[in-house]
């Protein structure tokens, strides 16, 4: 009995720790996946600094309640046999889950949670997955900022090129 209580306590501490360390939490249905497939999914996510954990809903409910998540949100997150996915960047986690869904169609997002306060519906998670990554957005911003400068440089270069051509023609006429 003491060993079982110790395991429950460890599971509760793990979920609480991940809630504190990570900004986003997603609950996913994994029913129909065998242990080997879940381990492959876990490994794929771990390579991207995303954590996947499976624990009993009662323990997860307690950890979420301790983190001051409202009971209504907890009920929506813990709907059925679920696994919890924790990550810092919601867009990257959503993209990863979308990619894994292609390989494992049994994986379905139930809901998401941002900063232990904002509930994300499966539709909102899907929209997150379709957003460009942070790096892509930064590249687009840099290109947008650089575009007027590039145009100015081309205009000035064209004017200088025209001046050189005129001077070249004048020097050839005098010769």
Domain ranges of the chain: 2-131, 132-175
- What's the rounded Cα separation, in Å, for the pair 77 and 71? 10
pLDDT of 1 reads 46
CA distances 160 to 122, 146, 152, 156, Å, are: 57, 21, 12, 6
Question: Mean of the per-residue pLDDT values for the chain?
Answer: 85
Tens digit of each residue's pLDDT (9 = 90 or more) over 50-91: 999 888 888 888 888 888 888 888 888 888 888 999 999 888
Q: Are 59 and 11 in contact (CB under 8 A)?
A: yes
| pTM greater than the 0.85 cutoff | no
The domain over range 2-131 is classified in CATH as 3.30.70.1730:
yes
- The segment with the largest mean pLDDT, out of 5-9, 43-47, 64-68, is 43-47
Q: Which of 121, 28, 113, 39 is nearest to 69 (CA)?
A: 113
pLDDT confidence tier of residue 27, bands split at 50, 70 and 90: very high
| Whole-number percent of the chain with pLDDT over 70 | 98
């Amino acid at each position: 009995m003491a060993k079982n209580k110790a395991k429950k306590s460890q599971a509760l501490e793990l979920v609480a720790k991940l809630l504190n360390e990570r900004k986003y939490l997603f609950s996913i249905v994994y029913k129909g996946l065998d242990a080997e497939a879940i381990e492959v999914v876990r490994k794929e996510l771990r390579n991207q600094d995303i954590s996947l954990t499976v624990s009993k809903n009662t323990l997860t409910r307690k950890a979420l309640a301790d983190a001051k998540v409202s009971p209504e949100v907890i009920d929506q997150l813990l709907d059925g046999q679920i696994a919890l996915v924790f990550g810092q960047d919601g867009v990257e986690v959503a993209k990863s889950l979308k990619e894994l869904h292609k390989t494992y169609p049994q994986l379905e997002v139930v809901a998401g949670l941002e900063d232990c306060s904002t509930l994300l519906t499966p539709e909102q998670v899907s929209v997150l997955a379709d957003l460009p990554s942070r790096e892509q957005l930064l590249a687009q911003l840099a290109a947008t900022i650089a575009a007027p400068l590039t145009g100015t440089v081309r205009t000035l270069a064209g004017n200088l090129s025209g001046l050189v051509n005129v001077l070249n023609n004048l020097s050839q006429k005098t010769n």
